[in-house]
């Protein structure tokens, strides 16, 4: 947790102890130089339920501005709890939750009115989501357009496709490595990790395709030409697979963020909207492309034989008119 005052209760067998922490980042926190906590002793261990009860006190204003949050009265306070089982050492929590409270001079504590969904939001995850969505939805569509539909400007589209491909690769590596912990217990973690590796291989196959095209100058023998076409086909298929799995990963990322992190937020549906609209746009582009190809040949008319039924040779200019 960033900039958070923490109290940690540890249970080790039938022993219990309390520690004062100040956390500055999403890593194991630093123990306060001066602990301002006092426990009502002894901790009560209930052998029947295997639970230990702690009662811990601290002054609202500890005077330690460097490592304690000085608790104000009559203000809404954001609170968070988390717990982990199986080890008395620091590690990421199994479960966590947020709540809010307000304290007053007479010692009463009432539930606060802060918006819990707002408290659960995580900046870093949202940035991860927006970057990935831009790279795979927006740039993903451009990758398709530059190679499949914008063929009139072949050279420009070719270089644009390569630059956009490297951009998507870079964004995927940078924003995946910011959150990756090699977990596989949620569909998004599995898909995210697969997309990361598929993108690296896919972008390499694109680079290889572009390089072989450059080396090939049209005068090679058929076997060589076929080899280059095979490489291009592999990247083409990898490209479509990447676009599909990348957008599936976006959907699972939205489900995970809105469903699990924001605990059942209705905006979870945005994941499905993104996936369906992406597929719809691809189908739309393809339909327009095919219809245009079909009807753009309509102006070519088969010339009629007019030379008294005899065989006549047409010049290219005559055919074009």
Taking CA 83 as the corner, what is the angle to CA 31 and CA 103, rounded to the nearest 5 degrees? Answer: 75
Nearer to ligand HEM (CB atom), residue 91 or residue 312? 91
Using CA atoms, how far residue 141 sits from 178, 243, 269, in Å, is 25, 8, 21
Distance CA 68, CA 62 (A): 7
Distance CA 12, CA 8 (A): 13
Nearer to ligand HEM (CB atom), residue 58 or residue 120? 120
Q: Which of 5, 43, 128, 275 binds ligand HEM (CB under 6 A)?
A: 128
Examine residue 282 and tell whether it contacts ligand HEM (CB under 6 A). Answer: no
Examine residue 166 and tell whether it contacts ligand HEM (CB under 6 A). Answer: yes
Considering the complex, what minimum distance in angstroms separates the CB of residue 303 from ligand HEM? 34
Examine residue 29 and tell whether it contacts ligand HEM (CB under 6 A). Answer: no
* Beta-sheet strand order (sheet of 4-12): 4-12, 15-23, 30-31
Question: Which range touches ligand HEM (CB under 6 A), out of 6-14, 67-75, 229-237, 276-284?
Answer: 229-237
Examine residue 168 and tell whether it contacts ligand HEM (CB under 6 A). Answer: yes
| Residue 58 Rama label (left phi>0; alpha psi -120 to 50; beta) | beta
In contact, 101 and 69? CB cutoff 8 Å: no
Question: Which range touches ligand HEM (CB under 6 A), out of 36-44, 70-78, 111-119, 197-205?
Answer: 197-205
Distance CA 227, CA 236 (A): 14
Examine residue 246 and tell whether it contacts ligand HEM (CB under 6 A). Answer: yes
Of 184, 186, 178, 195, which Cα lies nearest the Cα of 123? 178
Owner of token pair 């905006």? 267
Examine residue 250 and tell whether it contacts ligand HEM (CB under 6 A). Answer: yes
Residue-wise DSSP of 100-119: EEEE-TTS-EEE----HHHH
Examine residue 209 and tell whether it contacts ligand HEM (CB under 6 A). Answer: yes
Q: Which of 193, 216, 265, 281 binds ligand HEM (CB under 6 A)?
A: 193
Interface with ligand HEM (CB under 6 A)? 125, 128-129, 132-133, 136, 143-144, 147-148, 161-162, 165-166, 168-169, 172, 176, 179-183, 188-189, 192-193, 195-196, 199, 202-203, 206-207, 209-210, 213, 232, 235-236, 239-240, 242-243, 246, 249-250, 253-254, 256-257, 261
């Amino acid at each position: 947790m960033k900039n958070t005052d923490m109290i940690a209760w540890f249970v080790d067998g039938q022993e219990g102890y309390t520690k004062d922490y100040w956390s500055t980042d999403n890593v194991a926190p630093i123990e306060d130089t001066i602990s301002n906590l006092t426990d009502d002793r002894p901790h009560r261990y209930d052998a029947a339920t295997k639970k230990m009860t702690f009662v811990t006190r601290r002054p609202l204003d500890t005077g330690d501005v460097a490592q304690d949050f000085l608790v104000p009265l009559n203000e809404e306070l954001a609170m968070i709890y988390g717990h982990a089982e199986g080890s008395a050492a620091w590690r990421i929590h199994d479960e966590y939750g947020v709540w809010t409270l307000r304290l007053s001079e007479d010692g009463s504590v009432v539930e606060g009115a802060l918006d819990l969904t707002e408290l659960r939001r995580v900046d870093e995850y949202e940035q991860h989501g927006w970057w990935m969505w831009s790279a795979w939805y927006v740039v993903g569509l451009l990758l398709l357009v530059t190679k499949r539909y914008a063929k009139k400007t072949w050279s420009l589209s070719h270089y644009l496709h390569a630059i956009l491909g490297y951009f998507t690769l870079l964004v995927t590596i940078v924003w995946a490595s910011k959150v990756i912990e090699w977990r596989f217990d949620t569909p998004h973690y599995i898909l995210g990790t697969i997309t990361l590796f598929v993108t690296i291989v896919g972008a390499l196959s694109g680079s290889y395709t572009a390089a072989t095209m450059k080396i090939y100058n049209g005068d090679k023998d058929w076997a060589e030409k076929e080899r280059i076409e095979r490489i291009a086909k592999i990247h083409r298929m990898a490209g479509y697979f990447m676009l599909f799995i990348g957008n599936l990963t976006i959907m699972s990322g939205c489900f995970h963020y809105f469903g699990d992190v924001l605990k059942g937020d209705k905006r979870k549906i945005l994941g499905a909207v993104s996936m369906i609209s992406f597929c719809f746009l691809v189908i739309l582009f393809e339909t327009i492309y095919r219809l245009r190809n079909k009807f753009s040949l309509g102006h070519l008319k088969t010339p009629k034989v007019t030379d008294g039924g005899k065989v006549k040779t047409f010049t290219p200019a005559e055919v074009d008119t």
